[in-house]
Amino acid sequence: MSGTYLGMPSFPKAAKDAVHNVTLRANLRHATHTIRDKRAKAVAELDDWALLREAGKQIKDHTLRHLDRHLEQLESAVTAAGGTVHWAADAEEANRIVAGLVKATGESEVVKVKSMATQEIGLNEALEAEGISAYETDLAELIVQLGEDLPSHILVPAIHRNRGEIRDIFEQRMESWGRPAPDGLSDSPAELAEAARLHLREKFLRAKVGISGANFMVAETGTLVVFESEGNGRMCLTLPETLISVVGIEKTVPTWRDLEVFLQTLPRSSTAERMNPYTSMWTGTADADGPRTFHLVLLDNGRTDALADEVGRQALRCIRCSACLNVCPVYERAGGHAYGSVYPGPIGAILSPQLRGIQSEIDASLPYASSLCGACYEVCPVAIDIPEVLVHLREKVADQGGKGHRLEKAAIKAAGWILDHPAALAAGEKAASKTRGLHPRKPPGAGAWTADRELPELPAQSFRDWWKKNRT
Partner 1 sequence: MSTETGSRDRILARIRAAVADAPDAPEAARDYLDSHTPDDPAAILDLLHENLADYRAIVHRASEAELPALVAQLLADRGARSVAVPDGLPAAWLAAADADQRTDDGPLSPYELDAVDAVVTGCALAIAETGTIVLDAGPGQGRRALTLVPDLHICVVRTPDQVVASVPQAMPRLDPTRPLTWISGPSATSDIELDRVEGVHGPRTLEVVLLQD
Alpha-carbon span 467 to 465, nearest angstrom: 5
Is residue 118 a contact residue for partner 1 (CB under 8 A)?
no
Residue with smaller CB distance to ligand SF4, 35 or 134 = 35
Q: Pick the piece of the chain touching partner 1 (CB under 8 A) from 57-65, 317-325, 348-356, 398-406.
A: 57-65
Is residue 282 a contact residue for partner 1 (CB under 8 A)?
yes
Taking CB atoms within 8 Å and a gap of at least 24, the contacts of 142-147 are: 142/196, 142/199, 142/200, 143/169, 144/2, 145/1, 145/2, 146/170, 146/173, 146/174, 146/177, 147/173
Is residue 170 a contact residue for partner 1 (CB under 8 A)?
no
Kindly provide the b/e burial profile for residues 374-386, where b requires at least 16 CB atoms within 10 angstroms of the residue's own CB: bbbbbbbbbbbbb
| Binding residues vs ligand SF4 (CB under 6 A) | 318-324, 347, 379-382, 384
Opening angle at CA 433, ends 427 and 435, nearest 5: 105
Closest CB 53 distance from ligand SF4, rounded Å: 10
User: Are the C-beta atoms of residues 349 and 369 closer than 8 Å to each other?
Assistant: yes
Alpha-carbon span 330 to 428, nearest angstrom: 11
Alpha-carbon span 1 to 176, nearest angstrom: 12
Residue with smaller CB distance to ligand SF4, 170 or 227 = 227
Q: Pick the piece of the chain touching partner 1 (CB under 8 A) from 152-160, 347-355, 361-369, 433-441.
A: 152-160
In this structure, what are the phi and psi dihedrals at residue 84, rounded to the nearest 5 degrees?
A: -120, 130
Alpha-carbon span 89 to 77, nearest angstrom: 21
Alpha-carbon span 251 to 266, nearest angstrom: 13
**Residue 282, contacted partner among partner 1, ligand SF4, none, CB below 5-8 A by kind:** partner 1
By CB under 8 A, the residues from 290 to 309 that bind partner 1 are 290, 298, 300, 304-305, 307-308
Is residue 52 a contact residue for partner 1 (CB under 8 A)?
yes
Residue with smaller CB distance to ligand SF4, 111 or 318 = 318
**Number of Cβ atoms within 10 Å of the Cβ of 334:** 31
**Residue 382, contacted partner among ligand SF4, partner 1, none, CB below 5-8 A by kind:** ligand SF4
Is residue 105 a contact residue for partner 1 (CB under 8 A)?
no
Q: Pick the piece of the chain touching partner 1 (CB under 8 A) from 271-279, 317-325, 400-408, 417-425.
A: 271-279
Is residue 288 a contact residue for partner 1 (CB under 8 A)?
yes
Is residue 256 a contact residue for partner 1 (CB under 8 A)?
yes
Exactly one of 6, 45, 422, 469 binds partner 1 (CB under 8 A); that residue is 45
Is residue 438 a contact residue for partner 1 (CB under 8 A)?
no
Cβ partners under 8 Å of residue 232, min gap 6 = 113, 114, 137, 138, 139, 200, 204
Closest CB 212 distance from ligand SF4, rounded Å: 19
Is residue 274 a contact residue for partner 1 (CB under 8 A)?
yes
The three-state secondary structure class of 142 is helix
Closest CB 162 distance from partner 1, rounded Å: 6
Alpha-carbon span 364 to 96, nearest angstrom: 29
Draw the binding track, 175-214, toward partner 1 (x: CB under 8 A; -: no contact). --------------xx-xx--xx--xx--xxx--------
Is residue 65 a contact residue for partner 1 (CB under 8 A)?
yes
Alpha-carbon span 394 to 105, nearest angstrom: 47
Alpha-carbon span 83 to 291, nearest angstrom: 10
Closest CB 92 distance from ligand SF4, rounded Å: 26
Is residue 223 a contact residue for partner 1 (CB under 8 A)?
yes
